[in-house]
């Protein structure tokens, strides 16, 4: 990677981590399509390796507001989702990964923009955990299904519930990818490039939580993610 590419990668992921710390999700939705355009080797394992560390920091900061039954139900659903995600990666050739990334990212954005309202029950949270597990394992983006089903929670509780789910859920995805033969030693080195940016972004997000307009940030994420996803699709097709 060139110096400019490294600078862009670090800057993108620092902004993404600040977004995650401010509103509770969105880091990977923002970062994945942009990072995939710069260096596809950063997706999904390196970004998943960093996620537990980043979200451990958030879980500690927001401790005491966790909806534990929701976390448990989501993780129960996450396990079969991880298996399906590993299977998808094993069946799709590297030449078509851009198509998979682009399609799943657009589906994730569509879920968020659909206006769909789901009552928060054990069944819906478990289902959301399954879809989240599949998407996170396949392309590194698992937040939107969970954000959709937990959006009625107050801000502190939403952030506190999402963070431990991401810590454990990302670890399950990494384990699944290792067992599925998708892991390479280079993934560790690539994750070390993202780690300082993640820590810096979380530290920046602390004072921003009560000041940011989450609605505007979310639509900014959707716009950039959609543009990145479409670019991935076009590059894969042509």
Between CA 134 and CA 150 the distance in angstroms is 18
Most confident of 90-94, 147-151, 198-202, 204-208: 198-202
Rounded distance, CA 128 to CA 59, Å?
Answer: 20
Average pLDDT over residues 69-86: 96
Collapsed DSSP state (helix, strand, coil) of residue 105? helix
Q: Are 32 and 105 in contact (CB under 8 A)?
A: yes
Instruction: Give dist(CA 52, CA 43) in Å, integer.
Output: 15
Which one has a higher pLDDT value, 21 or 69? 69
Q: Which two tokens mark 51?
A: 């996620």
Span 84-109, mean pLDDT? Answer: 83
Give the residue carrying structure tokens 């997706």.
43
pLDDT tens string 28-55: 888 988 898 899 899 889 999 999 999 8
| Tens-place pLDDT, residues 110-139 | 877 776 767 889 999 999 999 999 989 988
In this structure, are residues 166 and 71 in contact, taking their beta carbons and an 8 Å threshold? no
Q: What is the pLDDT of residue 33?
A: 86
> Would you say the C-alpha torsion 109, 115, 120, 124 has a positive or negative sign?
negative
Estimate the crossing angle of helix 143-150 against helix 122-139, to 10 degrees.
Answer: 160
């Amino acid at each position: 990677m060139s110096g400019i590419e490294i600078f862009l990668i670090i800057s993108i992921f620092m902004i993404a981590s600040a977004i995650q710390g401010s509103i509770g999700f969105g880091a990977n939705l923002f970062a994945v399509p942009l990072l995939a355009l710069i260096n596809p080797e950063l997706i999904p394992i390196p970004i998943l390796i960093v996620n537990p560390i980043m979200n451990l920091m958030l879980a500690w900061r927001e401790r005491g507001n966790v909806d534990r039954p929701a976390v448990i139900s989501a993780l129960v659903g996450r396990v079969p989702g991880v298996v399906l995600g590993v299977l998808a990666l094993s069946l799709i050739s590297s030449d078509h990964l851009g198509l998979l990334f682009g399609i799943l990212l657009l589906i994730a954005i569509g879920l968020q923009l659909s206006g769909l309202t789901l009552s928060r029950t054990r069944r819906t949270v478990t289902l959301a955990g399954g879809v989240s597990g599949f998407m996170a394992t396949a392309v590194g983006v698992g937040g939107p299904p969970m954000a959709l089903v937990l959006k009625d929670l107050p801000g502190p509780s939403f952030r506190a519930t999402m963070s431990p789910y991401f810590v454990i859920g990302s670890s399950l995805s990494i384990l699944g990818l290792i067992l599925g033969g998708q892991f390479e030693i280079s993934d560790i080195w690539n994750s070390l490039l993202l780690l300082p940016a993640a820590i810096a972004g979380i530290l920046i997000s602390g004072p921003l939580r009560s000041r940011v307009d989450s609605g505007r940030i979310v639509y900014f994420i959707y716009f950039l993610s959609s543009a990145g996803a479409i670019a991935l699709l076009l590059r894969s097709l042509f």
